[in-house]
Structures are given as structure tokens and as C-alpha cells.
């Protein structure tokens, strides 16, 4: 019965998210600004989602770290949290919800197809470094998602549709600068994520680094972020080219978080 209540609360949160995203997208299409209702619905979704995660945590005795259902749910929650804060604070670029929310819709749809089955926390997960490692990873993904939203606006402005609906937003150069600032913040947290993960690995498996698939792809993603930031600071990178670089980073990070766990059989599997 408790599990059923958790799921119902989670689905209510997803409905609130979908309504918020749909209203935001329609607002862009119709050149309206229903920002207060969008922010209210996103906040409502976060409250319900937090309640659902908390109920499951209390029932199972561990956080949402083990199964793909738990990982997807916790990442939808963290991404929505970072984006909601950005939506609240960066009022001039709120139309980027039309870019960000479809990405989150895909994750929500995926979440609804995954079995929520009960899980046990592996012995290697009984460490505070797990929380630190995962927390840094979620902040990195959140800021990268905001950078992708800004990049999507830049790219869409090259079309008749985007140039008309995003014309009141700051110039592409300003958006590009803001997106790379978000990516730079994400880079700091991804670096901390790798350090915390190495400490966790030493504590759990007796080695700091083993070049298993998840560790290797995490390092590749880190390199892509570093190269993108270096190119931005060293060379003349147009806003459009910078936008494509950020999107490439996000794709690599997304595949690392949600693709590699399906193919690796290493101890650091990511999803069990």
C-alpha cells in the first residue's frame, strides 16, 4: 500500500511538471508569458516529487541510488530543482523552458516505463562519499542542462520561428556568455565529483581508479567540458559554435549517466 501511495504521489508530480512544461511551450508559441503559473506548477511538482522520494527512502531505508527507476527519479528531481531555481532567478531567459522541458519530458517518459521494484543498498554504497559523489554529479548535470537551454535559444534564433519568438531576449553573445558561465560552474562540480568518486572507490574497492567503462566515460565527459571552456577562452568561438559544443557535452554526459550503466558489468556499475 505504501509503495502504491509513493507511485501516485510521483505521478502527480510528473503531471505538474508536464503541465508546467506544456504551458511554457504554448506560451512561447503564442508569444505569451505565463511565467507565474509555470513556476508555481514546477514548484508544486518538486514538492510532490520530494515527498515521493522521501516516502520511498523511509520505507526501503536508503536513498534513490540503486535501480534505474531510482536513478531516473532522483535525476529528474535534481534537474527540475536546478532548472526551477534558474527559471526563478534568470527572468530574462525564462522562454528557455521551451527547450529544457522537452528534454525532461523524455526522462519522465522513460521513468514511467521502468519497474519501480524494491532494492537493497550494496555494501559498497554504505559510505558518506556516495552522497557527496552523487550530489556533485547532480549539480553538474543541472547547470549543464541550463546551459543547453540557453544554447537551444541561440540555435533556434537562426530559424524564422525562433528569431520571431525569442527576439526580446538578450543578444546571442550575452546568452552564449551566460551558458558558458553555467558550464564553468558545472565543470567545477564535475571535477569534485571525480575526486569524491575516487575516494569512494578507494574505500569500497581498494583502488582510486580502474578505468572501468563508467570511470572512463566520466573522464571523457570531463575532458570535453575542459576542451569546450578552453576553446571559449582561447579562440574566437561564435555563439552558434559554442552552443553546439555545449550540446555535445550534454549528450556525452547523458550517455555516461544513462547509457553506460546498461552495458558495463564492472563493480562501479551505476545501476543495478
Residue pair 264/198 in contact (Cβ under 8 Å)? The answer is no
Query: In angstroms, rounded to a whole number, what is the distance separating the alpha carbons of residues 121 and 123?
Result: 6
pTM: 0.91
Q: Per-residue confidence of the chain (272 residues) as pLDDT tens digits?
A: 778 899 999 999 999 999 999 999 999 888 888 899 999 999 999 999 999 999 999 999 988 988 889 989 999 999 999 999 999 998 877 888 989 999 999 999 999 998 888 888 888 888 899 899 999 999 999 999 999 999 999 999 888 777 778 888 889 999 999 999 999 999 999 999 999 999 988 888 888 888 888 888 999 999 999 999 999 999 888 999 999 999 999 999 999 888 777 666 555 555 44
CB 202 within 8 A of CB 208: yes
CB-neighbour burial class of residue 218 (10 A; exposed 0-12, middle 13-18, buried 19+): buried
Residue pair 72/112 in contact by the 8 Å Cβ criterion: no
Which residue bears the cell 565543470?
A: 187
pLDDT tens for residues 162-172?
777 888 888 99
3-state secondary structure of 267: coil
- Angle CA(94)–CA(20)–CA(189) in degrees, nearest 5? 60
The domain segmentation of the chain, as residue ranges, is: 123-272
Q: Are 127 and 200 in contact (CB under 8 A)?
A: yes
> Taking the C-alpha atoms of 108, 79, 135 and 246 in order, what is their torsion angle to the nearest 10 degrees?
110
Amino acid at each position: 500500500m505504501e509503495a502504491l501511495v509513493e507511485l501516485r504521489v510521483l505521478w502527480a508530480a510528473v503531471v505538474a511538471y508536464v503541465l508546467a512544461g506544456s504551458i511554457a511551450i504554448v506560451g512561447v508559441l503564442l508569444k505569451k508569458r505565463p511565467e507565474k503559473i509555470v513556476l508555481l506548477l514546477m514548484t508544486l511538482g518538486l514538492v510532490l516529487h520530494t515527498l515521493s522520494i522521501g516516502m520511498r527512502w523511509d520505507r526501503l531505508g536508503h536513498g534513490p541510488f540503486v535501480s534505474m527507476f531510482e536513478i531516473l527519479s532522483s535525476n529528474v528531481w535534481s534537474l527540475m530543482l536546478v532548472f526551477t531555481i534558474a527559471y526563478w532567478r534568470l527572468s530574462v531567459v525564462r522562454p528557455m523552458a521551451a527547450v529544457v522541458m522537452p528534454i525532461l519530458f523524455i526522462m519522465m517518459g522513460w521513468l514511467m516505463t521502468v519497474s519501480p521494484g524494491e532494492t537493497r543498498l550494496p555494501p559498497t554504497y554504505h559510505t558518506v562519499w556516495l552522497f557527496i559523489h552523487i550530489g556533485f554529479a547532480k549539480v553538474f548535470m543541472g547547470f549543464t542542462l541550463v546551459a543547453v537551454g540557453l544554447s537551444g535559444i541561440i540555435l533556434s534564433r537562426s530559424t524564422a520561428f525562433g528569431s520571431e519568438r525569442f527576439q526580446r531576449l538578450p543578444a546571442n553573445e550575452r546568452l552564449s556568455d551566460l551558458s558558458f558561465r553555467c558550464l564553468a560552474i558545472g565543470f567545477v562540480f564535475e571535477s569534485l565529483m571525480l575526486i569524491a568518486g575516487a575516494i569512494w572507490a578507494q574505500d569500497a574497492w581498494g583502488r582510486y581508479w580502474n578505468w572501468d567503462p563508467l570511470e572512463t566515460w566520466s573522464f571523457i565527459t570531463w575532458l570535453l567540458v575542459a576542451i569546450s571552456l578552453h576553446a571559449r577562452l582561447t579562440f574566437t568561438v561564435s555563439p552558434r559554435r559554442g552552443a553546439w559544443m555545449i550540446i555535445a557535452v550534454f549528450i556525452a554526459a547523458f550517455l555516461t549517466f544513462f547509457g553506460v550503466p546498461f552495458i558495463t558489468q564492472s563493480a562501479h556499475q551505476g545501476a543495478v
